[in-house]
């Protein structure tokens, strides 16, 4: 019988996080302050982050000890299991073995507590009494609420109003963990009041909520701000995922050919992949893939042709399912992890060709997620569906190439609090609407003379 789960004892859980900054072949350029044009200094970040986290943010130390109080909280749900998806493998009918790290096992159901717990701890250790943050749909807000409760901190979450109104379960989770969840824009901050004065019915946005949370922290010396993605220290904390996975795979004597994660802000992707990117830097053969959201429609509609990557026709001809390079403006075709919300480390690794990015649209991702739920049982978070779509894509490639592959991916969270998204898909609300024929013809005319692969 095939082994379906690999567990680690608490005693075998890694005691250090891995910092890839120490191993980058080309160091990252220091981020510049947009106001001064000078490299960012610790004091630029000090109004919103405690100094112990700022030190981690700029650290080049390879291994950073996980404090004992953080380990104790991690033990509530870590080590998470490494699982084999044999039923999904059967469905795909491809020569692949699929392993996944199940991060849905945490109390809020995602990988987010891997950083919310240490962030709460470090703030507490620095003498902070309250954390402020923003949340979109509530995944980060709920993870931080739980972590603050664990370390006796107050927590204030500015939740984008459109989600606040639509997502009662996430805000109830926050309330249960003792946090104050405020719809944004709110009257608590000048930023919020200004928006409300101009647009009283504003549904809010992530940008407004960030402004409110930061203003809240800046205005209270006992408060700081907390962010759940993008920053170096966030990615550092998430490496516990990949470090555990390596130990678990070692236990059964395997090493993955491909490591994948979904990449919104980059935190769970970095978590699973950075320890493997380290191996790759040191000569190991492993492919690392980031699956990102996109709505490029071209797989189902455009012909497969060589097309320019941009409207100026300056990039090499790329084989792609295309509706023509002039169909959408350049930034859209550019795609590929240039989304401004991506973690700088991940963008740097893509530029260095240590990581490759692939984009999947919502139809592909929900199709993959539903097939997963119908074979493996767990309903994935909609973000997780992106990486499952990438796994499907990888399995198809393996079948076409006749190559056996071992795939490892990060199952970043379950979707039990996101069933509205499945409702939208299953009730047909995510149906792509047909483009007018003249639009398609206009676009196709622009690639009429291009060679076909």
Partner 1 sequence: MVDALEQRDLGNDEAAYDQLEIRCPKLGGQVTFRYCRHEGGRLPCQRALVCWQVFFPVEAYFKARMTDDDWHRCFLTSAKPRIDTLLECIEAAKKRVGESG
- Hey, which residues between 187 and 206 contact partner 1 (CB under 8 A)? 189-191, 195, 198-199, 203, 205-206
DSSP code for 435 = P
375, exposed or middle or buried, with CB in 10 Å at 0-12, 13-18, 19+?
middle
Q: Is 2 or 437 the residue whose CB approaches partner 1 more closely?
A: 437
Contact present, 238 and 111 (Cβ < 8 Å): yes
| Contact flag: residue 304 with partner 1 (CB under 8 A) | no
| Contact flag: residue 136 with partner 1 (CB under 8 A) | yes
Q: Is 83 or 142 the residue whose CB approaches partner 1 more closely?
A: 142
Q: Is 31 or 453 the residue whose CB approaches partner 1 more closely?
A: 31
| Contact flag: residue 116 with partner 1 (CB under 8 A) | no
Contact positions with partner 1 (CB under 8 A) in 154-183: 160, 162-163, 166-167
Contacts of 45 (CB under 8 A, 6+ apart): 54, 57
**Rg of the Cα atoms in the chain:** 22
Q: Is 257 or 361 the residue whose CB approaches partner 1 more closely?
A: 361
Q: Is 8 or 421 the residue whose CB approaches partner 1 more closely?
A: 421
User: What token pair was written down for 50?
Assistant: 């405690």
User: What token pair was written down for 176?
Assistant: 């249960």
Rounded (10°) CA dihedral 306, 309, 310, 314: -80
CB of 215 to partner 1, least distance (A): 4
Taking CB under 8 A as the criterion, the residue among 48, 153, 240, 278 binding partner 1 is 48
442, exposed or middle or buried, with CB in 10 Å at 0-12, 13-18, 19+?
middle
Instruction: Determine the Cα–Cα distance for residues 303 and 321; give it in Å rounded to an integer.
Output: 5
| Contact flag: residue 312 with partner 1 (CB under 8 A) | no
Instruction: Determine the Cα–Cα distance for residues 119 and 442; give it in Å rounded to an integer.
Output: 52
| Contact flag: residue 39 with partner 1 (CB under 8 A) | no
Count of beta carbons in the 10 Å neighbourhood of residue 112: 27
Instruction: Determine the Cα–Cα distance for residues 451 and 315; give it in Å rounded to an integer.
Output: 15
CB of 188 to partner 1, least distance (A): 12
Q: Is 160 or 260 the residue whose CB approaches partner 1 more closely?
A: 160
5, exposed or middle or buried, with CB in 10 Å at 0-12, 13-18, 19+?
exposed
Stretch that binds partner 1, among 143-151, 238-246, 267-275, 363-371 (CB under 8 A): 363-371
Q: How far apart are the first and last CA of the chain?
A: 43
| Contact flag: residue 452 with partner 1 (CB under 8 A) | no
Instruction: Determine the Cα–Cα distance for residues 342 and 137; give it in Å rounded to an integer.
Output: 18
| Site residue total, partner 1 (CB under 8 A) | 83
CB of 361 to partner 1, least distance (A): 5
User: What token pair was written down for 182?
Assistant: 């405020």
| Contact flag: residue 431 with partner 1 (CB under 8 A) | yes
Stretch that binds partner 1, among 15-23, 101-109, 133-141, 242-250 (CB under 8 A): 133-141
Contact positions with partner 1 (CB under 8 A) in 367-406: 367, 370-371, 374, 382-383
CB of 27 to partner 1, least distance (A): 16
Among residues 428, 447, 198, the alpha carbon closest in space to that of 333 is found at 447
Stretch that binds partner 1, among 8-16, 143-151, 176-184, 334-342 (CB under 8 A): 334-342
Backbone angles phi, psi at 231, to 5 degrees: -75, 155
| Contact flag: residue 344 with partner 1 (CB under 8 A) | yes
Taking CB under 8 A as the criterion, the residue among 157, 277, 421, 447 binding partner 1 is 421
| Contact flag: residue 363 with partner 1 (CB under 8 A) | yes
Contact present, 146 and 118 (Cβ < 8 Å): no
**Residue window 225-254: x/- pattern of binding to partner 1, with contact defined by CB under 8 A:** --x--xx-----------------------
Q: Is 214 or 240 the residue whose CB approaches partner 1 more closely?
A: 214
Taking CB under 8 A as the criterion, the residue among 281, 286, 328, 444 binding partner 1 is 328
Stretch that binds partner 1, among 58-66, 239-247, 401-409, 426-434 (CB under 8 A): 426-434
Q: Which pairs count as long-range contacts for 211-215, CB under 8 Å and 24+ apart, including other chains?
A: 212/134, 212/158, 212/182, 212/184, 212/185, 212/186, 212/188, 213/132, 213/133, 213/134, 213/156, 213/157, 213/158, 214/48, 214/132, 215/189, 215/190, 215/191
Helices (H), 239-343: 240-251, 267-281, 298-301, 330-334
Taking CB under 8 A as the criterion, the residue among 295, 304, 313, 319 binding partner 1 is 295
Taking CB under 8 A as the criterion, the residue among 306, 335, 352, 396 binding partner 1 is 335
Contact positions with partner 1 (CB under 8 A) in 262-291: 264-265
CB of 343 to partner 1, least distance (A): 8
| Contact flag: residue 296 with partner 1 (CB under 8 A) | yes
Stretch that binds partner 1, among 72-80, 246-254, 313-321, 434-442 (CB under 8 A): 434-442
């Amino acid at each position: 019988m095939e082994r379906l789960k690999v567990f680690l004892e608490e005693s075998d859980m890694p005691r250090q996080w891995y910092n890839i900054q120490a191993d980058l072949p080309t160091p990252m350029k220091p981020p510049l302050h947009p106001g001064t044009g000078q490299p960012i200094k610790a004091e630029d970040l000090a109004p919103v982050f405690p100094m112990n986290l700022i030190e981690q943010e700029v650290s080049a130390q390879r291994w950073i000890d996980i404090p004992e109080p953080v380990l104790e909280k991690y033990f509530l749900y870590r080590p998470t299991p490494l699982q084999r998806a044999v039923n999904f493998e059967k469905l795909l009918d491809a020569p692949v073995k699929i392993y996944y790290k199940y991060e849905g096992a945490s109390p809020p159901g995602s990988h987010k507590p891997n950083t919310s717990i240490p962030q709460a701890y470090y703030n507490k250790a620095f003498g902070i009494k309250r954390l402020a943050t923003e949340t979109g749909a509530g995944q980060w807000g709920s993870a931080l609420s739980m972590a603050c409760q664990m370390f006796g901190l107050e927590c204030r979450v500015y939740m984008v109003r459109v989600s606040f109104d639509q997502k009662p379960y996430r805000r109830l989770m926050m309330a249960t963990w003792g946090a104050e969840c405020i719809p944004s824009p709110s009257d608590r901050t000048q930023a919020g009041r200004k928006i409300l004065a101009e647009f009283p019915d504003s549904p809010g946005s992530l940008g407004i909520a960030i402004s409110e949370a930061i203003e809240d922290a800046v205005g209270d010396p006992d408060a700081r701000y907390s962010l759940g993605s993008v920053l170096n220290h966030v990615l550092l904390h998430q490496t516990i995922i990949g470090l555990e996975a390596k130990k678990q795979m070692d236990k059964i004597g395997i090493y993955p050919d491909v490591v994948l994660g979904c990449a919104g802000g980059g935190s769970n992707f970095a978590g699973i992949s950075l320890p493997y990117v380290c191996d790759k830097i040191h000569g190991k053969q492993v492919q690392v893939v980031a699956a990102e959201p996109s709505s490029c429609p071209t797989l189902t509609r455009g012909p497969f042709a060589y097309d320019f990557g941009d409207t100026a026709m300056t990039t090499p001809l790329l084989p792609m399912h295309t509706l023509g390079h002039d169909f959408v403006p350049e930034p859209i075709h550019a795609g590929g992890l240039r989304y401004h919300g991506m973690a700088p480390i991940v963008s740097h690794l893509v530029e260095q060709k240590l990581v490759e990015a692939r984009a999947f649209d919502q139809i592909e991702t929900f199709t993959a997620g539903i097939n997963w739920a119908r074979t493996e049982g767990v309903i994935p978070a909609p973000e997780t569906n992106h990486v499952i779509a990438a796994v499907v894509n990888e399995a198809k490639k393996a079948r076409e190439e006749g190559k056996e592959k071992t795939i490892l991916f990060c199952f970043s969270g379950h979707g039990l609090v996101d069933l509205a998204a499945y409702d939208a898909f299953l009730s047909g609300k995510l149906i792509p609407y047909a483009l007018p024929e003249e639009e398609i013809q206009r676009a196709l005319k622009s690639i009429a003379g291009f060679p076909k692969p």
